[in-house]
């Protein structure tokens, strides 16, 4: 069992390093012509930071360093909003006003997390087991899914507009982005269901 936890920790460390490396590279190549890469890069960097609590739990670090509990790195609030902004920058509507307001709930949530993080461990543990914390958790899932669906609608409109405007649409329909949402939106729903219905499951550790 100890070997399983060690392997699980190493696996997550590898995932974190890869996501961080690719994210930083995408941010560094960010230029005016490729401004959209900034949002993909930032998404990967935030995802990498989210791996830290998973790694700490898998190596049982909280028992020795309880002050690290509830690190303010719950960036799920930014997953779909950042992807939505990426889509806005690369789709046929890229000249339209960008909806940066989709980031506001995530920014607010970060500062709330930051305030909670500096509380005593006993208080943080109590908060994490309250109904309010559950509501917070389901709210971020619902918000993310809402923006994900909003992004999918944008891509469907983009596809129709491209087909009406170009004789050759190969490479212009952003098919990969639609497939990304098709897999991730239901995946987020299933993750939430399994996490909250199956005790001690693999997903409960993720």
Cα of 37 vs its chain's centroid, Å: 16
pLDDT by residue for the chain (206 residues), tens digit each? 454 567 777 888 888 999 999 999 888 887 655 567 889 889 999 999 999 998 898 888 888 999 999 999 999 999 999 999 988 888 887 788 889 999 999 999 999 999 999 999 999 999 999 999 999 999 999 999 999 999 999 888 888 887 776 645 444 556 767 777 777 777 777 766 666 565 554 444 44
Report which of 128, 110, 117, 126 is spatially closest to residue 74, judged by C-alpha positions.
Answer: 110
- Burial of residue 43 (CB within 10 Å: 0-12, 13-18, 19+) is buried
């Amino acid at each position: 069992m100890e070997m399983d936890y060690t392997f699980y920790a190493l696996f997550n460390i590898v995932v974190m390093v890869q996501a961080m490396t690719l994210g930083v590279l995408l941010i560094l190549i960010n230029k005016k012509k490729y401004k959209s890469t900034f949002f993909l890069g930032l998404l990967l960097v935030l995802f990498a930071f989210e791996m830290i609590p998973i790694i700490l739990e898998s190596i049982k670090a909280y028992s020795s360093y309880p002050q690290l509990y509830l690190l303010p790195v719950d960036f799920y609030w930014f997953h779909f909003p950042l992807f939505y902004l990426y889509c806005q920058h690369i789709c046929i509507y890229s000249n339209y006003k960008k909806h940066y307001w989709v980031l506001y709930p995530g920014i607010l949530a970060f500062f709330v997390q930051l305030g909670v993080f500096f509380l005593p461990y006993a208080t943080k543990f109590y908060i994490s087991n309250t109904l309010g914390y559950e509501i917070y958790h389901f709210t971020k899932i619902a918000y993310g899914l809402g923006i994900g669906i909003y992004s999918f609608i944008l891509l469907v409109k983009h596809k129709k507009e491209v087909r009406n405007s170009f004789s050759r649409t190969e490479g212009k329909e952003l098919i990969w982005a639609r497939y990304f949402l098709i897999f991730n939106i239901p995946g987020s729903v299933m993750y939430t269901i399994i996490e909250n219905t199956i005790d001690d499951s693999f997903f409960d550790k993720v």
